[in-house]
Homo-oligomer: A and B are copies of this chain.
Amino acid sequence: MKDKSMRTTDRSLPIALLRARERVMEPVREMLSRSGISEQKWRVLRVVEELGPVEQTVIADKACLLLPSLTRMLQSLERDGLLERVADTVDRRKSNVLITEAGRALVHEHLGQSNAIFERLENALGKRDYRELLDLLEKLQTVKY
């Protein structure tokens, strides 16, 4: 007999978040693999494109990466001419990362495809539920507990 306190994995928030994400990422992965860019690098590019010149600690936080991982990705993205690092003039420990024109072009090209994917999903799930889900996820990120 099952323990009553046993939450099923469907009702486990971390597992449900992961399964949902895997589901949603399927077509995105297909898109990214065609251009040879990893999921993680794609997040870095989007964060940098969104936040403008931004320091690495912030990128790591927003893109859910550790700093040592980020360092290597930035080196690679910089070699590919998609991002640039410039030393901060005020606090010289920092460097600010910004997107190049080539990087911006790449982001926007893929974002077009990505938008198409998520428009389909939005319709399948219902606009109301889709928005509600994003609202709840946003709330979850900021809640203190």
Binding site for B on A (CB under 8 A): 3, 5-25, 28, 43, 46-47, 50, 62, 64, 108, 111-112, 114-115, 118, 120-121, 123-125, 129, 132-134, 136-141, 143-145
Residue contacts A-B, CB under 8 angstroms, 18 given: A5-B111, A5-B112, A5-B115, A6-B111, A9-B46, A13-B118, A13-B134, A13-B137, A15-B46, A16-B138, A17-B21, A19-B62, A20-B141, A23-B140, A121-B145, A129-B136, A132-B136, A133-B137
Closest to A16 in B: B137
B140 adjacent to A24 (CB under 8 Å): yes
Q: How many copies does the complex hold?
A: 2
Find the B residue at minimum CB distance from A115: B5
Contacts of A8 in B (CB 8 A): 50
- Please pick, from B9, B20, B43, B62, the residue contacting A140 in the complex, using a CB distance under 8 A: B20
Say whether A14 contacts B19, CB under 8 Å: no
CB contacts (< 8 Å) of A15 on chain B: these are 43, 46
Q: Is the interface of A mostly helix, strand, loop or mixed?
A: helix
A139→B16 CA distance, assembly (Å): 10
- Known pairs A9-B46, A11-B134. 4 more at Cβ < 8 A? A9-B43, A16-B141, A17-B17, A19-B62
Chain B nearest CB, measured from A23 CB (Å): 6
Given contacts A9-B46, A136-B136, contact A18 B21 (CB under 8 A): yes
Query: B111 near A7 (CB under 8 angstroms)?
Result: yes
